Amino acid sequence: MENIGFQVIVDEIFTRLSVEDIGRLKCLSKNFYRELSSHGFQMMHGLRSGDSLQKKLLSFKDTSIVVDDVVAGNLDVVRSKTLSFPNNVHPTFLRILSSFNGLLLVCNEGICCELILWNPTTRRYKVLSGDYLNYNHDQNSDTSGIYFDQFNDLKVLNIRCYRNVATARVYSPRRESWRTINFVSVNNYGSSGYSWSTGVYADTTIYFMVSNYWYPLGERNIIAFDVLSETFRMLRFPESIVVNPCQGHFLTIAKRLHLIVIRKSAELTADLLRYEEEGWMKVFAFNNPCVVDYIDRRRRTNIIENNKWLITSIWEDMVEVDLSNELLKYLQHVEVEVVEIWLKLICAMNF
């Protein structure tokens, strides 16, 4: 082992092992525990885990938290597992704000503004400290993202919209403190007329969609946060999408930003677009999109069912689409997905 080099073994072998195997290795020695607990190793292990096609679906349901395997686009509910949240907090009090490489940022609405970083696989968690979040979290106006900065330190970005002012702050779990960062120079994004999506991570950027359905009617904006420079910039919504109403939904596929666009003109359409070189390219058109009404929402128990996929917007409208074999194969590379389905929060991730 000494001839090969311990660091080479860590970088090339250990980063490809399962979370369970990593946990066993940590018990072997203090050196193993220190190396495998470092931020650099966790980042590399998370990135390589993200290349795997083995997916899990974590569902916050009415009375339980359930994990299912996603196999060929469908749920293998036979091997479902039930988890308990730290301190036995009831699922109805929990709301997923962001997800990244198997980590979840969860708001405990039972305790005002308690934010918790949680790894469902290892069961480890950390309550974010400080007096920054001394008010109730607004599910439409506030948003968050998780990332590693240029020094490979884990950080939490929170955008707070309060009294028509949007404020961006970053939390360091290592220092247990918040700091304010410069936000985009737009004054009205903090108003109650705008609704923010959760942050979606692609490459080294977290993307947010900000929509306004009141005035100006149908306004849609994309805000990008570069995790290395910790700066914001504005992106254009696809210019070819001119129909109102029109809704967008972000997701990451093979580390590249994609956008699902749902629009209603003469008929309902749903398209998948990919962002590249400061522009958008259409990849697929979803088959047979249809609006899901209140009764059907209550009947559906999962986001994926019989090759049918539920898509929701940040305004909680819901559309069901059929997945062709080609589209299903393409979507198997989805890396992180946060979706709200009726009164359930569902997060698909790699474990």
pLDDT in tens, 87-129: 888 888 888 888 887 788 888 877 766 888 988 877 888 888 7
**Residue-wise pLDDT tens digits, 233-289:** 888 777 666 545 567 788 888 888 898 888 877 788 888 999 987 788 899 998 888
Coil vs helix vs strand at 260: strand
pLDDT score recorded for residue 138: 55
Cα–Cα distance measured from residue 98 to residue 21, given in angstroms and rounded to the nearest whole number:
26
pLDDT band of residue 149 (cuts 50, 70, 90) is: confident
Please give the structure tokens belonging to residue 200.
């979606």
> With b meaning 16 or more CB within 10 Å and e meaning fewer, what string describes 153-173?
ebbbbbbbbeeeebebbbbeb
- Token pair 């919209």 is found at 161
The pTM (predicted TM-score) of the whole model is 0.74
pLDDT score recorded for residue 108: 83
pLDDT score recorded for residue 239: 64
**CA max distance for the chain:** 69
pLDDT score recorded for residue 171: 92
Q: What is the 3-state secondary structure (H, E, C) of 273-332?
A: EEEECCEEEEEEECEEEEECCHHHHHHCCCCEECCEEEEECCCCCEEEEECCHHHHHHHC
Residue 59's closest CA among 236, 314, 304? 304
Q: Give yes or no for residue 196 having a pLDDT over 70.
A: yes
pLDDT score recorded for residue 295: 73
**Lowest mean pLDDT segment, chosen from 15-19, 149-153, 228-232, 290-294:** 15-19
Cα–Cα distance measured from residue 170 to residue 149, given in angstroms and rounded to the nearest whole number:
11
Q: Give yes or no for residue 216 having a pLDDT over 80.
A: no
pLDDT band of residue 226 (cuts 50, 70, 90) is: very high
- The mean predicted confidence, pLDDT, of the chain is 75
pLDDT score recorded for residue 123: 81
Q: Give yes or no for residue 131 having a pLDDT over 50.
A: yes
* Class in CATH terms, 38-349: mainly beta
H/E stretch holding 44 reads helix 39-49
pLDDT band of residue 302 (cuts 50, 70, 90) is: low
More confident residue, 76 or 68: 68
- Token pair 């923010």 is found at 196
pLDDT score recorded for residue 119: 86
pLDDT score recorded for residue 206: 93
Residue 141, exposed/middle/buried by CB under 10 A (0-12, 13-18, 19+)? buried
pLDDT score recorded for residue 29: 82
pLDDT band of residue 75 (cuts 50, 70, 90) is: low
pLDDT score recorded for residue 146: 92
More confident residue, 49 or 15: 15
H/E stretch holding 37 reads none
Average pLDDT for 284-297: 82
Sign of CA dihedral 32, 117, 315, 93: positive
pLDDT score recorded for residue 340: 33
Residue 128 CA from chain centroid, whole number? 18
